[in-house]
Structure 1
Amino acid sequence: MYIHYNLYANYTWGMGGEIDLELNRRNMQKIISIIVIAVLLYWGLQNLSTVSSFFSRTFQILTPFLLGMCMAFVLNVPMRIIEKKLFSYNLKSKKNINDKIKRPISILLTIIFILAIIILVTGIVIPELIDTISTLSTNVSNSILKLQGLYNRLMLKLPEIIPINTINNINWDEINKTALDFLKIGTTNILGLTVSIASSIFSGILNFILGLVFAIYILIQKEKLSKQFKKIMYAYLPEGKVDRILYILRLSSKIFSNFISGQCLEAVILGAMFFISMTILGLPYALIIGVLISFTALIPLVGGFIGLFVGTFLILVSDPVKALWFIILFFILQQIEGNLIYPRVVGNSVGLPAIWVLAAITLLGSTFGIVGMLVSVPVFSVIYTLLREDVYPRLKAKKISPEKLK
């Protein structure tokens, strides 16, 4: 019995030693991790310019890939619909053929559909803009001739208005030198600005093309990439955490897809409102401005004002009074759309109550600007859904009756 007790004591002591050793090892790893993070944070704060330059350069390099991922996500929404509508039957005799061709055909049809919308909008709006600019240039030419005649008459009457001694005391050489210097500086600045704009446009086009190619590759192999991503996560993370992460990603994907669909529907409703209202009020270019506002409404914050500027410019040339009425109509419809239609249409598409839609746009829009306004509704919707899924089981576990919540 004594021997048995000693063996049991030695066994339990050995187990305790192994547990203590494991705990000490974990504590040491945590302490080392905290020290490393603290050192990196301190170094980063001391070298903010270097860190900022590094992240800026990294973001610049990754821009085509990030743009491609965003484009792939947006293109995936109509592509998925096209796949379901065109390839849902999948006859057994043609199953292999359909599996091979359905993805490339769906991607091609999606790109053609989006390009058709862009060409349609530009084909309707740009010719009218050209005609308006042509009319405006004619009016400007007439105005310049009138100003030139006024200037000539003023020069003839100048000796009568200003004493001859005053005119003789003016240093015309200095005025000419100042004017020439101003023109030289202005020309140099314009050339520099032109080169900068051309470089930015070229860089933007290049990033767009690379992003589109990357997006097409992602869409073609999205199932394979998803499987590889899951393998890596399950290999390095606990299974329960991976399941939770994948659930949140699936929920986010569903909500963002519904948000894009709701945003497109809301843009169509807004364009129809402008077309009907302008037709009733007898304002010109009702169809063109309605289509333009539907298209620009997809751009957060700035898009509506692009439609306002172009619409006002088109109407102003033909009738300045009607242009003023259009501006008033624009702000009225914008208030109706922003406070009534948008929260209901987009909020219902993502499952977020109207009041929280307004709160999301206000909060993230004021904090992060255009990007915040773009992602505010789907982000709040994901948070709202996860919070609701966590709250109700807790209330049920605490046996909180519905009467207490009224």
Structure 2
Amino acid sequence: MEKREIKRYIFIAFLAVAVCVISQNFAVFVSFLSVVLGALKPLIMGLMIAYIFNIIMNFFEKHYFPKSSSKLVKKSRRPVCLAASFAITIAIIILIMYIVVPEIASAFGVLYDEIPPAFTKSKDFILGKLKEYPEIQEQISTVEFDWTNIAEKASKLLTSGVAGILSSAVGIIGGLTSAVTNLVLGLIFAVYLLLRKDKLIKDSGRLRTLWFSDDTNRKLGRVLNTANETFRSFFIGQFVEAIILGTLCFIGMKILKLPYAAMSGTLVGVTAFIPIVGAFLGAGISAFIILTESPMQALIFIIFLLILQQFEGNIIYPKVVGGTVGLPSIWTLAAVTVGGGLFGVFGMILGVPLAATLYKLAFFKLEEKESELGITPPDEEEKTPKPSKKSKKAAKASAKKK
């Protein structure tokens, strides 16, 4: 046998043994995998941050004295553009918090002022109705309470409640500390990747050339390029779409004279980053807050946003994102559902471009197989122009002459 076949059989045997070992010790494998992923979480977070910030940094680099040949400009281009991308992101986050937080605090202040009077009115209403039913009053008056037993149960509940609160507080503080630590380490790793990205890309290309054959490199390059184009176009399209949707929501609410226009437009725009369900999530929160002012205005807001969602889904989204993502609606819904079930909000956001990448690669493979077998794709058959009557007559005439 050739060396290639021997390597293939060894790999298949190793894979079969690995599958058997994992299936027999699945619980141990899952716990080991969770430990590994927990250790790699800062690096994974850093890769995600670096990829997103690279899109912003590339925009600044294209406009940072592009025609200058000065050494100072070339050396300062990467650090200055990286600092600008972080600065504009922090400014956007601060602006969102400045708009949203005071409005939400005001809405909860209204709730705090309205709930006690509503409770008092409900209580008076119930007591007033009970006067019409003396039997119920009599039953209530005959009810006796064992105050000693109630006090013992209350003390036990209070003790367990305090212990639960303390343990929950410790857990929350520990989780928050871990999240902040992972975020800081991820940011440091992302900054290093962005500053050294040209060298890292060059070194990875050299390693690919050394380890893999030309055919494998070609296939791997196509996978990476397809994934990069899909993810890049998805993030840019979602960002532009979120700005447009939030702006239209703000303008429409101002025209309809609805309260909390700035907060609602910002919430709808920010949550629009989550495909399909994001804008509805922002709409639900906004509608609840508007409900504190007026139920009728909340209903008007819901109707307005449903109309805006139809306009956005059928006109804005195809124009902004277009066919660059190229994923049908049913697969988009499936990607959001599966990604959200596995990894929460991040799974919803990343599930769509990942599914779109796999979808495109599958169709590339399908087109290659069809071209090898000489099969014409249905789309090309539809595009092929049918011969006219004149061309048919000319073909018959030429055939008769021959």
Superposition TM-score, scaled by structure 1 size: 0.80
Map of 1:314-333 to 2, 5 A cutoff? Answer: 314-333=289-308
Pairs aligned (count): 376
Q: Which of the residues 153, 175, 178 maps onto 1:203?
A: 178
- 1:42 equivalent in alignment to 2:20: yes
Provide the C-alpha distance between the structure 1 equivalents of 2:21 and 2:232, rounded to a whole number of angstroms: 41
Counterpart position of 1:365: 336
Does 2:362 align with 1:391?
A: no
Alignment pair present for 1:137 and 2:112: yes
Shift in CA distance, 98/158, structure 1 to aligned 2, threshold 3 Å: farther
Equivalent of 1:227 in 202, 210, 218: 202
Aligned pair partner of 1:87 in 56, 60, 65: 65
1:347, 1:33 → 2: CA distance? 42
- Provide structure 1 residue ranges, at least 5 long, that are not aligned to the other structure: 1-21
Contact 2:242–2:273 (Cα < 8 Å) also in 1: yes
Question: What are the equivalent positions in structure 2 for 1:2-401 lying under 5 Å apart?
Answer: 22-23=1-2, 27-91=5-69, 94=70, 96-143=71-118, 161-162=137-138, 166-167=142-143, 169-300=144-275, 303-348=278-323, 350=324, 352=326, 356-369=327-340, 370=345, 371=347, 374-377=350-353, 379-380=355-356, 383-384=359-360, 387-388=363-364, 391=367, 395=371, 398=374, 400=376
Alpha-carbon distance between aligned partners in 2 of 1:391 and 1:116, rounded to the nearest angstrom: 46
* Structure 2 gap ranges (5+): 384-402
Cα deviation, residue 31, structure 1: 3.5
Structure 1: distance between partners of 2:160 and 2:303: 41
Aligned partners of 2:123 and 2:309: how far apart in 1? 43
Deviation at 1:289, TM superposition (A): 1.1
Deviations 1:168-198 (A, max 9, x none): x432222232333333333332332232222
Contact 2:42 2:182 (8 Å CA) reproduced: yes
1:251 and 1:382 in contact (8 A); partners too: no
**In terms of mean alpha carbon deviation, does 71-80 or 322-331 score higher?**
322-331
The structure-2 alpha-carbon separation of the partners of 1:143 and 1:247, relative to structure 1 and needing over 3 Å to count, comes to: same
Structure 1, 124-133 or 190-199: larger mean CA deviation: 190-199
- Distance in 1 (alpha carbons) for counterparts of 2:140 and 2:211: 91
Residue 368 of structure 1 and its aligned partner are, at CA, apart by: 3.0
Q: Hey, what's the Cα distance between the residues in 2 that align with 1:222 and 1:316?
A: 50
Equivalent residues of 2:46, 2:189 under 8 A apart: yes
Return the alpha-carbon distance in structure 1 between the equivalents of residues 270 and 162 of structure 2.
36
How far has the Cα of 1:394 moved from its partner? 5.0
The alpha-carbon distance between structure 1 residues 233 and 254, as it changes in their structure 2 partners (threshold 3 A), is same
More displaced 10-residue stretch of structure 1: 113-122 or 315-324: 315-324
Query: What's the secondary structure of 1:284's corresponding residue?
Result: coil
2-side partners of 1:275 and 1:193: how far apart?
39
Q: Which amino acid aligns with 1:363?
A: A
What code does the residue aligned with 1:79 have? M
The letter of the residue matching 1:81 is: F
For normalisation by structure 2, the TM-score amounts to: 0.81
CA distance in 1, matches of 2:149, 2:128: 25
Q: Please give the secondary structure, in 1, of the residue aligned with 2:68.
A: coil
Whole-Å separation in 2 of the counterparts to 1:224 and 1:34: 35
> In the alignment, is the contact (CA less than 8 A) between 1:259 and 1:378 conserved in 2?
no
The one-letter code sitting in structure 2 at the alignment partner of 1:323 is A
Name which of structure 1's ranges 258-267 and 170-179 shifts more when overlaid on structure 2: 170-179
Residue 53 to residue 382, structure 1, CA distance change in 2 (3 Å): closer
Shift of 1:377: 4.0
Letter in 1 for 2:260: Y
Answer yes or no: is the 8 Å Cα contact 2:339–2:351 preserved in 1.
Answer: no
- 2:354 and 2:64 mapped to 1: Cα distance? 29
What whole-Å deviation, never above 9, does each CA across 1:205-226 have from its counterpart, x for those lacking one? 1111111111110000001001
Quick check: which one's helix share is greater? 1
Q: How large is the Cα RMSD of the aligned pairs?
A: 3.4
1:298 is paired with a residue whose SS is: coil
Q: C-alpha distance in 2, partners of 1:281/1:81? A: 37
Mark the structure with the bigger radius of gyration.
1
SS at match of 1:318: coil
The answer to which of 356-365 and 254-263 deviates more is 356-365
In 1, the alpha carbon distance for the partners of 2:96 and 2:84 equals 18
Which amino acid counterpart does residue 218 of structure 2 have in structure 1?
Answer: D
Output the CA distance in 2 between the equivalents of 1:316 and 1:68: 40
Q: Which residue of 2 aligns with 1:12?
A: none
The percent of aligned pairs where both chains have the same amino acid is 30
